[in-house]
C-alpha cells in the first residue's frame, strides 16, 4: 500500500509556531517544512518540545500563535483563535503513532484499527475491514485480529498502532518515540516496519532517540532544544558534522551511549 497522491508541493508547512503551558513557553517559534514522500527525524533532549510539536500538528494541543498548512490547503492561523472544529480538522491530514500505543484495551486488534475509518471517516465497514486485514497481514499480525491488546507483546501492540494510523490513509504519519517504551529485543520489528513505510514513499515526521536509525532512514534531521530549532539539514550534516555545539554534545552523548 503506497501513500495516496503525489506531487512536489510540501505536505506540511509550519511557520512561527508558539505554545505556552502556564509560564513556560514550550515552543518558541518553530518553522518546519516536510516535502512529500520524505522522512524528517525530530531529535533533541527530553523537554525540548518535540512531542508538543506533534500534538499541535494533530490537533491535540492548540498553539498560541503561528500557522499550519497541509498540502497547499487552507492555512490555519492560530493567532486568530480558530474554532475548535478547525483545529480538530487537522486530524484529517495526519495520523499519530503514540509512544505508549494508546490502544483501546476492551476492543480487539481489528476493532482498534477500524475505529478511525468507520466511526470517524464513515467509510463502509466491509471496505475498511478488508483494508485493515490487508494492513495487519503486511506487519505479520493478521492472525491476531481477534486478540485483545493485553494478549500482545509491546512490539505487536506498537505495530497495531502503526496499522491503525495507516488505515486512516493520512497525508502525514506522526511518530512519537515509537520504540522508547519497548524492550530492546522488540525494537527491531517496529523499526523495520517504519523503514518499509519510508521505502514506499510515506511522508513521516518521526520523533526518535534512535539516531543510527534516523541516519539511515531520514531525508532530513531537525534538532530541537529549549523550544527552538537549533539546527536542521541532511543526516550527514546534523548527525555526523553538526555546526552547533548544542547539537554536537547531544549527538555524541546518544551515539556513544
What pLDDT band is residue 4 in, cutting at 50, 70 and 90? very low
- Clarify whether residues 89 and 179 are in a common domain: yes
For the domain that residue 10 is a member of, what is the CATH number? 3.40.50.300
Q: What's the rounded Cα separation, in Å, for the pair 76 and 225?
A: 25
What pLDDT band is residue 54 in, cutting at 50, 70 and 90? very high
Range of the domain at 202: 1-93+171-257
- Clarify whether residues 141 and 193 are in a common domain: no
Looking at residue 8, its pLDDT comes to 61
- Clarify whether residues 156 and 254 are in a common domain: no
> Which pLDDT tens digit goes with each residue over 100-150?
888 999 999 999 999 989 888 889 999 999 999 999 998 899 999 999 999
What pLDDT band is residue 187 in, cutting at 50, 70 and 90? confident
Tell me which of 169, 185, 218 is where a domain ends: 169
Tell me which of 153, 169, 185 is where a domain ends: 169
**Residue 198 pLDDT exceeds 60:** yes
- Clarify whether residues 157 and 57 are in a common domain: no
How many folded domains does the chain comprise?
A: 2
**Which residues, in sequence order, are bridge partners of residue 76?**
68
> Environment class of residue 234 by beta-carbon count within 10 Å: exposed (0-12), middle (13-18) or buried (19+)?
middle
> Which pLDDT tens digit goes with each residue over 215-229?
999 999 999 999 999
Tell me which of 151, 169, 187 is where a domain ends: 169
- Clarify whether residues 3 and 89 are in a common domain: yes
- Clarify whether residues 204 and 79 are in a common domain: yes
Return the percentage of the chain with pLDDT > 70, whole number: 96
Average pLDDT over residues 173-199: 87
Q: What's the rounded Cα separation, in Å, for the pair 251 and 210?
A: 11
What pLDDT band is residue 92 in, cutting at 50, 70 and 90? confident
- Clarify whether residues 183 and 233 are in a common domain: yes
Closest CA to 135 of 87, 196, 216: 196
Amino acid at each position: 500500500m503506497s501513500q495516496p497522491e503525489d506531487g512536489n508541493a510540501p505536505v506540511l508547512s509550519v511557520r512561527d509556531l508558539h505554545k505556552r503551558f502556564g509560564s513556560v513557553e514550550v515552543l518558541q517559534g518553530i518553522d518546519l517544512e516536510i516535502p512529500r514522500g520524505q522522512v524528517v527525524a525530530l531529535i533533541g533532549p527530553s523537554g525540548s518540545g518535540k512531542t508538543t510539536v506533534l500534538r499541535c500538528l494533530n490537533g491535540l494541543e492548540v498553539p498560541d500563535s503561528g500557522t499550519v498548512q497541509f498540502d497547499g490547503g487552507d492555512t490555519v492561523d492560530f493567532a486568530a483563535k480558530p474554532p475548535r472544529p478547525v483545529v480538530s480538522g487537522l486530524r484529517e491530514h495526519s495520523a499519530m503513532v503514540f509512544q505508549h500505543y494508546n490502544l483501546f484495551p476492551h476492543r480487539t486488534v481489528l476493532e482498534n484499527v477500524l475505529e478511525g475509518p468507520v466511526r470517524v471517516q464513515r467509510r463502509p465497514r466491509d471496505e475498511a475491514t478488508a483494508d485493515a486485514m490487508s494492513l495487519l497481514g503486511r506487519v505479520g499480525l493478521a492472525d491476531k485480529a481477534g486478540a485483545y491488546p493485553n494478549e500482545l507483546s509491546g512490539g505487536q501492540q506498537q505495530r497495531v498502532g502503526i496499522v491503525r494510523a495507516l488505515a486512516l490513509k493520512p497525508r502525514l504519519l506522526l511518530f512519537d518515540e515509537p520504540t522508547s517504551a519497548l524492550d530492546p529485543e522488540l525494537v527491531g520489528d517496529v523499526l523495520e516496519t517504519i523503514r518499509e513505510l519510508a521505502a514506499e514513499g510515506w511522508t513521516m515526521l518521526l520523533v526518535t532517540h534512535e539516531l543510527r536509525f534516523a541516519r539511515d532512514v531520514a531525508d532530513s534531521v531537525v534538532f530541537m532544544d529549549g523550544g527552538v530549532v537549533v539546527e536542521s539539514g541532511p543526516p550527514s550534516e546534523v548527525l555526523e558534522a553538526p555546526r552547533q555545539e548544542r547539537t554536537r554534545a547531544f549527538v555524541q552523548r546518544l551515539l556513544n551511549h
